[in-house]
Amino acid sequence: MLDPEYADCRYSNHNQHTMVNTSEFVNGDKRKLRVVIVGAGICGLACGASLREYADVTILESAAALAEIGAAVHLAPNAHRIIKAFGGELIQTGAMPCKSFQEWSAKDNKLVINSSFDPLVDAGCEWALCHRVDLQKELMRVATTPDGPGSPCTVLLNSWVVSCDPDNASVTTKGGQTYHGDVLIGADGLKSVVRGQVVGDSFRSRPSGHSAYRALVPAEKIDNHPDLASLGLLDNRITMVNGAERRIICYPTRNRQLLNFVCALPDSELNEISEEKWSAKGDPQALVKSYASFDPIWQELLRQTGECGLWQLRDQDPLDKWIKGRTIIIGDAAHSMLPHQGQGASQAIEDAEAVGACLRGVAVSNVPTALKRVFDLRYKRATYIQQISRSSGLGSMRKEYLAKLGQAVNEDAPLNPIQYRDFTWNYYGALEWEKSHPEWIV
């Protein structure tokens, strides 16, 4: 969770009807756009950082204090370079640069891929292995620091949005407060309230048939175990143990103090019930039991878990619409992704940058056109990455989506998620993408 001081940074409780002057000119001068963002997670804060230079930004968050789940997230160069452009410093705040990938076969416990690289050399930016709390802290700093460009974003906690008017860019909270802006951005995640008003309630995620355990293990537990230490799990590396129906993915974070791992497996083979929320607790003993078919060394790794979360993996078909009136949904609200490519947070950050690029210098009357441009720039790329995440899934889902992508289905072939890195990494912002990849624009 975030430290308490981050909870009151630019914090206010507005206990009154809040009206923003939506006229295009104030005293004859063109004024800044007034932007209301719903959600102060990674997506919402990144969007605030992208907009603050030339917009007055208010971010509404339902929680009483900002808090990301205690787990890790990796940002490939496509997203990390955007954070750097905003003024963020991830490596300096604990993220580790990933420089290799190993994939082990769960079938015979053989190393099938051992790839080394240097994204800073290859793509001009590190592949950052971040702790989610550290990432959110840094985005909060970038969005709200008085030393940044333009005006600091205002983050309003205890502001649970229950309804919105997309055409008028307004929202109403559970406490009865109404906020009006020139632009409304729904960055409120998988269970988005804004999405329901933009595309209707019929577009909802569904269980994928799989769940994932998440845990953070102190580095000393690995270092003090000779067999585990010999695997090099705490090196600047992502390690995967891949089976047809289950896998383990792990990597270090927070300056090598922690080993993060995610273990995905079928719901039908869980030894407990998963829930559709990140905060749900899992049973470490049930986790180890679920991987009884894996080599003993990997079971020993899982036994190092003190506590873990158990998260039901949800799947969502691509939406054909992100916009209504002066409102747009982005990030998980628009294109939630299964975690098998590790691109969910990165695509949300790309969305945030695109919103900032397309709204720069836009008059209020042209907001709908600018938002349509965001959709046109982002839709094909985000949807494709959503689909390759499905094709990297487990069991029948992998077969189905590999076939849709025109790729051969071979259950014994390595997963090799880095095969898509040229496409994912070589993204330098929405406007550059528009120029260099016209075939990917709607």
pLDDT (tens digit, 9 = 90+) per residue, 156-180?
999 999 999 999 999 999 999 999 9
Q: Which CATH number fits domain 206-315: 3.30.9.30, 3.30.300.30, 3.40.50.410, 3.40.50.1820?
A: 3.30.9.30
Binned at pLDDT 50, 70 and 90, residue 272 comes out as low
Q: Say which range, 4-8, 31-35, 227-231, 249-253, has the weakest mean pLDDT.
A: 4-8
Encode pLDDT of 328-375 as tens digits. Answer: 999 999 998 888 778 999 999 999 999 999 999 999 999 999 999 999
Binned at pLDDT 50, 70 and 90, residue 210 comes out as confident
Encode pLDDT of 109-151 as tens digits. Answer: 999 999 999 999 999 999 999 999 999 999 999 999 999 999 9
Contact between residue 185 and residue 37 where contact means Cβ atoms under 8 Å apart: yes
Q: How much of the chain exceeds pLDDT 70, in percent?
A: 83
Please, what is the end-to-end C-alpha distance for the chain in angstroms? Answer: 39
Task: Say if residue 242's pLDDT is above 60.
Answer: yes
Residue that wins the pLDDT comparison between 15 and 111: 111
Q: What's the mean pLDDT in 21-34?
A: 57
Rounded Cα–Cα distance for residues 341 and 273 (Å): 25
Report CA 257 to chain centroid distance, whole Å. 22
pLDDT at 164: 95
Task: Say if residue 40's pLDDT is above 80.
Answer: yes
Encode pLDDT of 393-404 as tens digits. Answer: 666 666 665 666
Q: Can you read off the two tokens belonging to residue 391?
A: 């094709």
Residue that wins the pLDDT comparison between 279 and 419: 419
Contact between residue 185 and residue 35 where contact means Cβ atoms under 8 Å apart: yes
In DSSP terms, which residues pair with 100 in a beta bridge? 116, 237
Question: Which helix (DSSP H) or strand (DSSP E) does residue 280 occupy?
Answer: none
Q: Say which range, 168-177, 192-201, 402-411, 426-435, has the weakest mean pLDDT.
A: 402-411
Angle at 258 between CA 257 and CA 264, to 5 degrees: 165
Q: Is 20 helix (H, G, I), strand (E, B) or coil?
A: coil
Task: Say if residue 322's pLDDT is above 90.
Answer: yes
DSSP string for 201-270: TT---EEEEEEEEEEEEEHHHHHTSHHHHTTTTTSSEEEEEE-SS-EEEEEEETTTTEEEEEEEEEGGG-
Residue that wins the pLDDT comparison between 207 and 221: 221
C-alpha neighbours within 13 Å on the C-beta side of residue 30: 8
Question: Which helix (DSSP H) or strand (DSSP E) does residue 37 occupy?
Answer: strand 33-38
Task: Say if residue 9's pLDDT is above 80.
Answer: no
Amino acid at 364: V
User: Residue ranges per domain, the chain?
Assistant: 4-70+132-205+317-440, 206-315
Task: Say if residue 198's pLDDT is above 70.
Answer: yes
Q: How much of the chain exceeds pLDDT 90, in percent?
A: 69
Q: Can you read off the two tokens belonging to residue 182?
A: 């020139």
Rounded Cα–Cα distance for residues 46 and 50 (Å): 6
Rounded Cα–Cα distance for residues 222 and 219 (Å): 5
Tell the CATH topology of 4-70+132-205+317-440: FAD/NAD(P)-binding domain (3.50.50)
Q: Is 127 helix (H, G, I), strand (E, B) or coil?
A: coil
Residue that wins the pLDDT comparison between 417 and 296: 296
Encode pLDDT of 50-71 as tens digits. Answer: 999 999 999 999 988 876 566 8
Task: Say if residue 85's pLDDT is above 60.
Answer: yes
Average pLDDT, the chain: 86
